[in-house]
Structure 1
Amino acid sequence: MERFEHTVTQEQVGERIDKVVSTINSDWSRSQVQQWIKDGHVLVNMEQKRTNYKSQASDVITIEVPEAEVLDVEAEDLNLDVYYEDQDVIVVNKPKGMVVHPAPGHYSGTLVNGLMHHCKDLSGINGVMRPGIVHRIDKDTSGLLMVAKNDVAHEHLVNQLVEKSVTRKYMALVHGVIQHDYGTIDAPIGRDSKDRQSMTIVDQGKHAVTHFEVKDRFEQYTLVECQLETGRTHQIRVHMKYIGFPLVGDPKYGPKKTMDIGGQALHAAVLGFIHPRTEEYLEFTAPIPSEFNELLQNLQK
């Protein structure tokens, strides 16, 4: 374990301790440093402080850089559908049925297993089970995800998500015919007290906003494009159920009598973000997968 000592300079007085520490070494990202502070690897005058502690003149900061965890998730050749890749970012089109990262019950066949075979450099901010993962989509949702190849890119992309500047548009097939062409659902989402595996609309939940536009209407169904303003767990699925138009095929939030299509009819079709290095806006579009497309064609008939 490497150990560093730093004495707060006059210019750094009043700055947050996580900011001061992250300037000591350009390889240390702010979120990585924040985790070290929480884990007790960063001490001020040999005392543990909070990440928002304001540094004072002549404070002595001791940093013990923890050993990197050995990643025991196996690399697998999963023939990933990579839409874009450079030294900082990968954009991948995840198929329906693939879990994003390893978790109990899913240690192989995940997007992370495939990414580890595809490239050796992934950011370490989210730990050994979720290297590079900036945001997630559900197992049975297909579509575009951005992945960070280093910690600086990771932090940059996460900040864009926080600032709501990332473009995320999804195609969804829902039960019922929506009469109006546009809508916005602004309803807070939290854990369902009756079922901890499900999310629901709760007053004390997290702020959640989904905008939607009707793309096509069928006899008993509607195809909508949903644009996320926030990114809560199961947000589109919960919000569309809340307004009375649950997703087709959704085993958790859909009606009992729904089409058995192996999970919800939801596809992350458009992803746009500012590149962390070039600061250029990039946008990608992945067409609806074939089985979803066949479903729409059958409804049109």
Structure 2
Amino acid sequence: MKSFQLNWVVEEGGVLLRDFFKEKTVSRSALTDIKYNGGKIMVNNKEVTVRSILQKGDKVRLVFPPESHSLSMQEEMIPLDIVYEDEHCLVLNKQPYIPSIPSRLHPKGTIANGLLFYYRKQGIDRTVHIVTRLDKDTSGLMLIAKHRYSHSLFSLQHQQKQVKRTYYAMVHGEIEKDFDVIDSPIARKEGSIIERCIHPDGQHAVTYYKVVKRFHDRSFVQLALDTGRTHQIRVHMSSMGHPLLGDTLYGGEKTKILRQALHSKSLQFFHPILEKTLYFETDIPDDIKYLL
């Protein structure tokens, strides 16, 4: 199986290796994991400690230990629509009706199960690191990190709102305003492990929407998130009196579509290792196109 490693050539001497790694955003926990779980810290092909002093032109190599996944999560041959892939991440177009990760209600048949199978076939010794998760019935683009190091970098970007996603949804009723901002805190609904609601003691949540097209009984909207709360779009649109078509949990009806009419259409992020911005876009699926 392929072990993941990072390689650098030192441009400026007299620097402690520990400080060099800090500059490269390699965390202390990652270095501890490498030290005690079978990884290697090398300079000029010799194993060293982080107390080593680097010289200009030194070749630094960091070999990460093998990653293991929970024994409760099984590999499954699940079709994956991979839009982009490199050594550090992949972007896939998730089909509806499939969960992102296993749960008590859905222990199998998830994107994560399919990724484990795909990794083994590719000879990649990793566990699953999902950066942007989607609800089971939501379709569209997801960002997956392929190792611990890229996961930490992408997660930091996500927390700093640098991972940009655009959604499209069909909602009940004609929305009056062409565009607006919904700024309402979201909390778990009392007595439910799934449902969320607007609550003054909830987590800060901000959604931007723009009406793309109006029909006599529904509106097609473009949405962007300033925060990433569970069910955020679904809860916010329902709170306006415009639940998503198909979203029976939040007041929608399944007369014209069998799942919430929500699609993650575009994804943009800065690739911290390739040092360039990547942008991806996918088609709206047929069941939402039908509503148009």
- Relative distance call for 1:180 and 1:86 in structure 2 (3 A) is same
Distance 1:31-1:236 versus aligned 2 partners, 3 A rule = farther
Partner SS state of residue 248, structure 2: coil
TM-score, normalisation: structure 2:
0.75
The letter for the 1-side match of 2:264 is A
Could you tell me which residue of structure 2 aligns to residue 105 of structure 1? 105
Q: After superposition, where does 1:55-70 map in structure 2 within 5 Å?
A: 69=68
Pairs within 5 Å for 1:214-225: 214-225=211-222
> How far apart, CA to CA, are the structure 1 residues paired with 2:99 and 2:32?
26
Q: State the identity %.
A: 38
**How far, CA to CA, are the matches of 2:28 and 2:246 in structure 1?**
38
Q: Out of 262, 269, 283, which is 2:265 matched to?
A: 269
SS at match of 1:119: helix
CA-to-aligned-CA distance 1:77-109 (integer Å, 9 cap, x gap):
222100000000100000000111112232322
Change (3 A) 1:87 1:224: same
Counterpart amino acid of 1:173? M
Does the residue aligned with 1:164 lie in a helix, a strand or coil? coil
Residue 241 and residue 147 in structure 1: after superposition, are their counterparts in 2 closer, same or farther (change >3 A)? Answer: same
Q: CA RMSD in A?
A: 2.9
1:141 aligned onto 2:138:
yes
**1:17-54 deviation line (CA, Å, top 9, x unaligned):** xxx89959x9x953956999xxxx9xxxxxxxxxxxxx
Deviations 1:228-256 (A, max 9, x none): 1110000000000111111111021024x
C-alpha distance after superposition, 1:203-234 (max 9, x if no partner): 11111111011111101100000001110000
Q: 2:169 touches 2:244 (CA, 8 Å); kept in 1? A: yes
- Partner of 1:226, secondary structure, is strand
* Aligned partner of residue 161 in structure 1, secondary structure: helix
In 2, the alpha carbon distance for the partners of 1:152 and 1:236 equals 30
Asked if structure 1 preserves the Cα contact closer than 8 Å seen for 2:196 and 2:231, the reply is yes
Q: Secondary structure at the match of 1:215?
A: strand
1:262 Cα deviation after fit:
2.1
Tell me the equivalent position of 2:74: 74
Runs of 4+ deviating beyond 4 Å: 20-24, 31-36, 66-70
For 2:258 and 2:249, the matched residues in 1 are separated by 12
Distance 2:179 2:130 in 1: 32
TM-score, length-scaled by structure 1: 0.72
How far apart are residue 71 of structure 1 and its match? 3.7
C-alpha distance in 2, partners of 1:200/1:90?
Answer: 33
**Aligned equivalent of 2:195, options 177, 193, 198:** 198
**Conserved 8 A contact 2:119-2:126:** no
Change (3 A) 1:164 1:289: same
SS of 1:273's partner is strand
Distance 2:187 2:148 in 1: 29
**Which shows bigger deviation, 228-237 or 185-194?**
185-194
Note the alpha carbon deviations across 1:188-212, whole angstroms, 9 max, x for none. 1111124342111111111111101
Q: For each residue in 1:148-191, what CA deviation from the matched residue of structure 2 results, as whole angstroms up to 9, or x when unmatched?
A: 00111101111111111111111000011012211111111111
